[in-house]
Structure 1
């Protein structure tokens, strides 16, 4: 009977998460199966003082599944489509990341938030990947999730709306189709299992290894021409739901109260990020042959699907946008952890010296 309490809490948390995800799906809100559960669990804590719970084994499996999902978006076409734009896009994306980190560092000196949490809450990365990175770097995952959600919602609502009104050219739609992935053999599921084992073994050495390792290995096999087994979409919905439960559980009422006072700052950072995306998108379009819609939507920090669909309705090229967005995600999950692990100790040491001085 001793173990029935946590199990009951987990089942109740998943029930609330499914309701939240379903409502977000019906309302066509962004990332419904992550943000829906997060919202549902937070409301249950605030209104009914509900005690939530999350399964650690399921969380690890879910990060592994999402890594596979991201890796499966890479094809030979990904690199072929973006090859002429890769260098300038990489430089502009790195510039955007550095500016976001500098802004977050400045804000962390004004408000009562530690530097790791501030930077991870402000960087233009995927919510799942950043939450995994936050956990591995011992930041406040609850606050990181709240700040990333503010950024994500701002971008997913403002950029498509602005792009539709600024770049719409009479409903022109691109004829370019996204490449379809062929179904692989059943035995390739074993390769995914090996990826999970490698990810667990390298967890101490590679930040967010449960996402990064399967993503990289899946991408390498995909690009090499191997057809891997494609899990049903329901698997990835369940993985997102589980991540949503974990994030919703990790956010405490104290985090919410603290975030309430800080939301204005991080909303301001999100709006600044959107302006930067338009500015860098303009630069990108000036130095390449891409139109403004394609350039801006390629620079926007997520989500990949939403930006590609917006490109299709505004005269942009959805295949270029989705390919460059995939490259951006790769940069965020590979370069950013190394950059943060190299810079944060130095910045924290400098900050301690300033406080002592």
Structure 2
């Protein structure tokens, strides 16, 4: 197939998949749309070529920059105020990942596939890191997707039910105590100043250099970790706060979805079919463990149960924040604890992978 024709087919399928899934409010349409449409085409014998590793590395750098842009001096100050819950989330994230990896190894001999499938880091984050390893990436993305769907479907329903069972006076008292936890501390009020385009480009350039350095050194997941860490440290030192361009992130997510879809083949589809029941079963097991941790946070902090459940839910960061907004939960607390979980996964899992693979 001619390169121009194959590129046109790939891009057309990606855009069509994204448009359709976004239209029906499907979870993570930027990744799942291209993955599904291109994956089906490949499974039917499409024969489209894989993306080059250079292209995948560019997507890694963009994902890393988007994560690093979320970390700044204010987030660091907020983290100190919820230190105990953050430690609980960090420990649970690592232990549950290792436990689920051991269980998944009963069904797949590939340690990297089991590890990245078990890690609750979100579809985009885990698949982009898994691309740098000898993993069955479609299997990883399928595990991540099914878990996300189960969590988004089940956790809000249970949270609403528990909220209705909690007396109103008790909910008000918990809310006041939670607000007190987040507003007290030694941090001084921070004036947020809009920074110029030139400053942003300089910050992004530093992040890209950090990512490229780790890629050259062969560091696990170097593109994501290097860009994220460099940009985050720069933000903290220079006390900068800003939003990463959503359009750029959107293109990177579409690219990741394309790269996953291109990994599909008839053999991969047969493997996924054989693993479907274990995938669903492990997803439900993760949700049950989420409830245990949520209840523990509830008793540890006396926060409302919805905030605790959504803070510990191993779904995607953006998806959990969207659910928290809809359910009128404490979005600030949830964003901090979800970010802790994501950072633990992104920084620790690649290192663990090197130790065991």
TM over 0.5: yes
Counterpart for residue 119 of structure 2: 123
Counterpart for residue 251 of structure 2: 238
Counterpart for residue 146 of structure 2: 150
Counterpart for residue 135 of structure 1: 131
Closer, same or farther: CA 198–76 of 1 in aligned 2, 3 Å: closer
Aligned match for 2:201, one of 177, 189, 196: 189
Closer, same or farther: CA 232–246 of 1 in aligned 2, 3 Å: same
What pairs up with 1:309-320 in 2 under 5 angstroms? 309-320=322-333
What pairs up with 1:1-357 in 2 under 5 angstroms? 5-47=2-44, 49-56=45-52, 57-109=54-106, 111-167=107-163, 182-203=194-215, 204-227=217-240, 230=243, 232-342=245-355, 344-345=356-357
Deviation (angstroms), 1:228? 7.0
Q: What is the rounded CA distance, in whole Å, between the counterparts of 2:126 and 2:209 in structure 1?
A: 21
Contact 2:62 / 2:252 at 8 angstroms: preserved in 1?
A: yes
Q: Deviations over 1:37-75 (max 9, x none)?
A: 11111222345x323334323322222111111111123
Q: What is the rounded CA distance, in whole Å, between the counterparts of 1:232 and 1:90 in structure 2?
A: 31
Q: What is the rounded CA distance, in whole Å, between the counterparts of 2:287 and 2:330 in structure 1?
A: 20
Contact 1:104 / 1:119 at 8 angstroms: preserved in 2?
A: yes
Closer, same or farther: CA 148–310 of 1 in aligned 2, 3 Å: closer
Contact 1:122 / 1:266 at 8 angstroms: preserved in 2?
A: no
Deviation (angstroms), 1:145? 1.9
Counterpart for residue 354 of structure 1: none
Q: Deviations over 1:209-252 (max 9, x none)?
A: 11111111222222234447755321111111011100111122
Let me know the Cα RMSD of the aligned residues. 2.8
Bigger drift between 68-77 and 241-250 goes to 68-77
Closer, same or farther: CA 153–313 of 1 in aligned 2, 3 Å: closer
Deviation (angstroms), 1:194? 3.9
Deviation (angstroms), 1:102? 2.0
Closer, same or farther: CA 59–312 of 1 in aligned 2, 3 Å: same
Contact 2:60 / 2:224 at 8 angstroms: preserved in 1?
A: yes
Contact 1:59 / 1:243 at 8 angstroms: preserved in 2?
A: yes
User: 1:207 aligns to what SS in structure 2?
Assistant: coil
Bigger drift between 117-126 and 140-149 goes to 140-149
Taking structure 1 as the reference length, the TM-score comes to: 0.84
Bigger drift between 257-266 and 218-227 goes to 218-227
Structure 2 residues not aligned, in runs of 5+: 180-189
Closer, same or farther: CA 143–293 of 1 in aligned 2, 3 Å: same
Contact 2:18 / 2:29 at 8 angstroms: preserved in 1?
A: yes
Closer, same or farther: CA 274–181 of 1 in aligned 2, 3 Å: farther
Taking structure 2 as the reference length, the TM-score comes to: 0.84
Moved over 6 A (4+): none
Q: What is the rounded CA distance, in whole Å, between the counterparts of 1:305 and 1:59 in structure 2?
A: 22
Q: What is the rounded CA distance, in whole Å, between the counterparts of 1:64 and 1:16 in structure 2?
A: 24
User: 2:121 aligns to what SS in structure 1?
Assistant: coil
Which structure exhibits the higher relative contact order, with contacts defined as CA atoms closer than 8 Å and separated by 6 or more residues? 2
Closer, same or farther: CA 264–212 of 1 in aligned 2, 3 Å: same
Closer, same or farther: CA 183–252 of 1 in aligned 2, 3 Å: farther
